[in-house]
Amino acid sequence: MKCDLCMDRIDAGLKPACVTGCTTHALSLVGQDDPRYAEQRQRAPQRPVAER
């Protein structure tokens, strides 16, 4: 199943299920207009390239 970012939950004003369910708070959802966005983008590793 491909991730759809829990669009039904986002439309209902909720966070994605994996963000809500992460007991160590390792996941977060930050909008591009949030001041934390640039910081989190810098800390994020390069997007892995899928091998075919």
Give the residue with the Cβ less far from ligand SF4, 3 or 49. 3
For residues 41, 29, 19, 44, the Cα torsion angle rounded to the nearest 10 degrees is: 0
Pairwise CA distance, residues 9 & 42, whole Å: 27
Closest approach, Cβ 20 to ligand SF4, in A, equals: 9
Closest distance of CB 44 from ligand SF4, Å: 16
Do 35 and 42 contact (CB within 8 A), yes or no? no
- According to CB under 6 A, which residues from 1 to 40 bind ligand SF4? 3-6, 16-18
Nearer to ligand SF4, 5 or 30 (CB): 5
